[in-house]
Structure 1
Amino acid sequence: MKLYFKYLSIIFKSQLQYRTSFWLLTFGQFFIPFSILAAIYFKFERFGQLQGWGFFEVALCFSIIGMAYSLSECFSRGFDLFSSLVAGGDFDRLLVRPRSTIVQVLGSKFEFTRLGRLIQSLIVLCWSLSQLPIVWNVPKAVTLVLMILCGTLIFTGIFMLTATLCFWTIQGLEIANILTDGGREMAQYPLNIYQRWVTVFFTFIIPFGCVSYLPLMHLLGKAEGSDVLYMLMPLAGALFLVPCLLVWQIGVRHYRSTGS
């Protein structure tokens, strides 16, 4: 982890060499998601509710997923851009270094401008929480934090899986965006508005439902059960990372240099 934070420091300092560009990109990332939030607002302004969900309830789901995705994009960007390492033959250098390839790929790229999107999601989170009658206690507060952190792990796992494909395809596949960008757009809404197979897939295969929909229902008083059970539910996001790491190791073992 000392090496990881060293990477973090070096890349942050390098991006600040062009301060105007850095801050303009950060502000851009701050304002872009407002168009999506505006679309959600006007939808509820027109129809009132969506499968029993109100605007601020969906806005809370939107902000949680937005924060998770922003954190993952900021700190896991190396996997998202991994195809360039394979295509250019630069992954060979990572293999001969006496450190984990995962740490090195994670440290190869950070996108600190995504913090603008994170701040925007944080504002929406605070706004929606102020408008919802949630009775807070310690388990619910911990649940909310775990929803964000474990959601970040799910997106990181998806980035890792799409990066692993590059060991066979060399270039990244656009179809992988179905699970990254598509997963983000889908998870910003409660899962019960979709068909049943979508709900099952994104609960038991890719556990977005365990870090957003099911704990959110408990926070909003739409589901009964033990606070501890719902507090532990987001940890499915951490478990999802385990098979992603295993698939990555399989990909590394089957890697053949491009010869660049």
Structure 2
Amino acid sequence: MVFASDAESCPDPPPVDNSIFVAEEVEGQLLGTYICIMGYHLVGKETFVCNASEEWDVSPTECRLGHCPDPVLANGKCNSSGPVNVGDMITFKCNDQYILKGSDWSECLDDHTWEPPLPICRSRDCDPPGNPVHGYFEGGSFTSGSVITYYCEERYRLVGTRELQCIDGEWSSEPPACEPIQETPKPAILSILEKVLLMFQENEDLCSDMGNFIKNLKQSGLTMEEVKHSLEVKKARLEANVLLKHNK
């Protein structure tokens, strides 16, 4: 640090590496200024005052090397060939089969950071997709533009998008899910038939009689509809006879 001051009443200011301190009297006050040497820039307050107590109102300040960290872009390149000074801007471009994620430019700020943040080059191909529980997909290619199709195991139904496409390194949607299929309750008539069949199985005589009835029915050449109609006619006649006797 180099001092350039004629002020004898104020003490030496705190040292700041890689800087020159200049003091001058302005309107009765002694002002001090830090000036960074070439290749460095000031971070913090630049000008200070020697107050009535003959002390400098100095807050933390420093001179930093005047370039940002070298930009690194894997699978791509930028238009920088050396140290980038504060205020410089650079641009980025990805190699073939890679896509830029982030800004295609950035600026070196006073605090030695890049703004916007440095981008990345991401492959246009997709990572292997996930498999839903009780499901699977068909399609072995994950390159950009490829399509895979999802299926569910037996007794499960697919909920979500069946087909996913790889678009510039990302799948078009989230993988679907496989949910269990709720069994439909059996109608009451089926339950009754099951009980009848069970009764037939438990009663060998009844089962035998039913078998004989069906055998005789086939030999007679009649159909079940004809037998049913005949029984209904006989039932109607019996009901008519009972009604006549009652009226007498």
Q: Give the TM-score band, short-chain normalised.
A: under 0.3
Determine which structure has the larger helix proportion and give its number: 1
Which structure has the greater CA radius of gyration? Answer: 2
Determine which structure has the larger strand proportion and give its number: 2
**Please, what TM-score do these two structures have when normalized by structure 2?**
0.18
